Structure 1
Amino acid sequence: MRSLADGQGSKTHTVGDVLDRYQREVSPQKRGKRWEIYRLELIGNKEIDGKPFRAIRLADLKVQHITAWRDARLREVSGASVSREMCLLSHALKVARDEWGWLITDPMKPVRRPPDSRPRARRISEAEVAAITAALGYQEGLPVALPKQRVAVAFLFAIETAMRSGEILGLTSQAVDLTARVAHLPLTKNGGARDVPLSSRAVELLQLLPAVEEGEPLFNLTNSSRDALYRVGRDRAAVGDVTFHDTRHEAITRLAKKIPVLDLARMTGHTNLNELMTYYNASAAEIARLLV
């Protein structure tokens, strides 16, 4: 039975307290903790009615707050992404209710999950690449120093390698063998390690970055700063809805014309070729040009 004290934490704790404690105590037990911590930060920092979602007291948390958060996120990312974030938020609130006694009811229960949207098929043209990188202050052949310029290099590197943003930002000098042209990822989104072959252009891009202390991330950027700076550059470039993750679609579509599909799956970390296909977005005209 619940004690009379159950739910008292709702008067003193906020949504942010739930997310922070979950991040400290629950997320480290999971293989994908890096990605989960990033998602928890996105969830908490989303503004609802002029203030961060994380600032809402649990005692004041209503279905309307969660639906407003859901709808705000749907304007930024796909329904599938929002659904995954809702699953994470739901579990965090469940732990707060069942284990910490901070809640009595489940505020997520009445909230409808968004339907999975169709997979994105957004390609990035060379003109858009040039516009985005220029808006971020990157010029070919000139030194890279400012954070926004490192974001531009990360953007170009993503198109060369099909690596995710978090994988790129986690790279250190120990993880990259420039001679062998291989980047080692000790822990990926799928929970395992992966070695990513690097093109000569990818190596060239890494060599543009300013030197960092041994063991420190080569790009010296956080996920949140990368995201914010990229959005500013993209909007300034006026290229529409190009997301950073669209680089994975573009890279996989380009790489599919260069290497066999099994090698491509190994490079990108896909164990299911059907999942890999969702990132392959070549047009019929492009495929026709490959035919004799």
Structure 2
Amino acid sequence: MGRYRLTARLGEGGMGTVYLGLSPGARQVAVKVVREELVSDPSFRRRFAREVDAARRVSGFHTAPVVDAGPEDTRPWLVTEYIPGPSLQQVLELHGPLPALTLRALALGVAEALEAIHACGIVHRDLKPGNILISSAGPRVIDFGIARGAEATALTRTDLVVGTRGFLAPEQLTGAPLTAAVDMYAFGMVLCHAGGSARFADGAALSGALRLLPSDLAAVTAACLGHDPVGRPSPTEVLRDLGGADGETPSDWLPPALRTLVDLHQASTMTAAPPRARPDRPGAP
């Protein structure tokens, strides 16, 4: 796909299929190929190209930047930095709630990622555990901005709601104008899930989920889950309230079991993408 050799299938998303790939210099990347049913829509292609251009401007320690794209190709594609690690969703399914140190590092990392994303005028609109990768260096937020192209096509049908239920802000359900505050609502829901509340049962009180969080995270989460988007904190305010300027993600932010999971994930992708042998090298096939 373009200059990139696809070596393994990583998964399926709303926009298309994600592959592990190798750059010409043998650097591992994530290659996302658009679903075939979207490629014939000229309006989707235009939106996709605009969102790729916007997402390329995003930089930060806790994102997976877009590094290349082929929006004009027969099957549009884009390439992001490959982050060797499981998703937060996989971590929670395998190991359950995160300990306090890990939960705090998660909150700071995701808030910093949203700060960088929002600074470029992008609203993620589908922040959830499946779009947060867990690496040894900290959490990384993926699929920012790009999904908006596919979702905008879906919005031509009035019976569809953009995003993932369980993480949608009230205004996303009512059709009210959307702002970056929808990401902060989803951020609060992510922290609830990571703290042990897998989902809110119908009629369950928010206080039950908040009791599972450390007190400072509970206060921030409650503010993020406010019904009025105007009252939700920004990522910068979250970082300030949590003391995010104190330093980098600690090297021991993952407990031993989760660090082993990250290491195994990295090892499996290394074997899935062996470098191409050079025919002129002695002993090469």
TM-score (norm: length of structure 2): 0.28
Higher helix share: 1
TM-score (norm: length of structure 1): 0.27
Higher strand share: 2
The structure with more radius of gyration: 1
